[in-house]
Amino acid sequence: MSNLLNKNPGSATALDIFHNHLNGSILVEVGKMKSLEFLTSGSNNISGPIPTTLGDLTKLKVLHLYSNQLSGPVPSELGNLKNLTDLALSGNQLSGSIPTVGRDLTELKSLYLHSNQLVGPSPNELGNLKNLNDLALSHNQLSGSIPTFVDDLTELKNLYLHFNQLAGPVPSDLTELKSLYLHSNQLSGLIPSELGNLEKLTDLALSDNQLSGLIPIVDVVLSYHELEGPILDNKAFTNASLEGNKGLCGNLTGFQPCERPSSHLIGKRRKLILIILLPVMGVLVLLCAFLGVLFMCDKRRRAKDVERWNDDSWLSISMLYGKALYRDILNATEEFDATF
């Protein structure tokens, strides 16, 4: 790269060095390549920060620095690249917050910042990216709620926000989306019924959140929540992932058929009765067993007392009659007098 810069740094329009074994840092001299429109150096071992001099490449349309070992913040100077249509910085070790570059990169169609160490909320300035088709911010440490600017991105087709720390509700006004990945966050509340009207939506992943309630009619990945209620017999659920929700029922394979409302109520009443009666009956059985044991012990004790009384009485009577006989003998012999 250094030889190319030394020869004629201002004439090249494309620098394509992706998928090699390049290491070291990005040379600040790259900023001197004023005619550069395509810079792709992804899938290498390039480390260090992104040089701020890249902001001088005002003709740049494509900037790919993905799958390297870049660190530090995303330089705000990238906001000077007003002709940029494709920015890919994913698969690095970039940190800090997402810069407010969206207010200037109005031509941007793809923004890939996933698989980094970015924190904080997404800046509202990204709502100025009116031409954005793909927004990938997954596998970071982003917090806050799902950014409200998503509703303003009318050209947005694919939104990837999974594996973050996002909280709050799922947005409802996402009419143009084809793919929506929100799984592995901390989202809560109900799933908007408006999602069932998204005719263009083909992939929806909401698993591993804290969602509750009923689900709309849409092909979804909604495994391991607390969802309940019937699943309508709709072809949209043919490839749905709904495992781990104990309260769901329906005519689809793998689900128990839904009961009629009357039998459902009867079943609930029976279940309530059993919940109440079983502990009571258990207590009564234990009480009867305890009383039976006490009765048997008392019976045995009484039997032993009677037996002991009989033995003592015989001894007392024997002793009583023995004393009387001895007394008679003494009187008859005048107390064993020798002259008698």
Instruction: Give yes or no for a contact between 183 and 221, defined as CB atoms under 8 angstroms apart.
Output: yes
CATH topology of domain 2-260: 3.80.10
Per-position b or e across 247-283, b if 16+ CB within 10 A of its CB: ebbbebeebeebeeeeeeeeeeeeeeeeeeeeeeeee
Q: How many CB atoms lie within 10 A of CB 22?
A: 15
Per-position b or e across 25-46, b if 16+ CB within 10 A of its CB: ebeeebbebeebbbbbbbbbeb
The full 3-state SS of 267-285, as one line of letters, equals HHHHHHHHHHHHHHHHHHH
∠132-135-138 over CA atoms, to 5°? 175
Q: What is the pLDDT of residue 149?
A: 84
pLDDT in tens, 59-94: 999 999 999 999 999 999 999 999 999 999 999 999
Q: What is the pLDDT of residue 53?
A: 93
In the chain, how long is the greatest CA-to-CA distance?
166
DSSP 166: -
pLDDT in tens, 271-281: 777 777 778 88
Q: What is the pLDDT of residue 90?
A: 96
Please name the helix (run of DSSP H) or strand (run of DSSP E) that holds residue 39, with its range, or none: strand 38-40
Domain ranges for the chain:
2-260, 261-340
pLDDT in tens, 274-306: 777 778 888 888 888 888 888 887 777 776 665
Q: What is the pLDDT of residue 4?
A: 45
pTM exceeds 0.85, yes or no: no
Instruction: Give yes or no for a contact between 130 and 155, defined as CB atoms under 8 angstroms apart.
Output: yes
Tokens 């740094």, located at residue: 9
Looking at per-residue pLDDT, the higher value among 314 and 14 belongs to 14
Mean pLDDT of 92-115: 91
Q: What is the amino acid identity at position 60? A: L
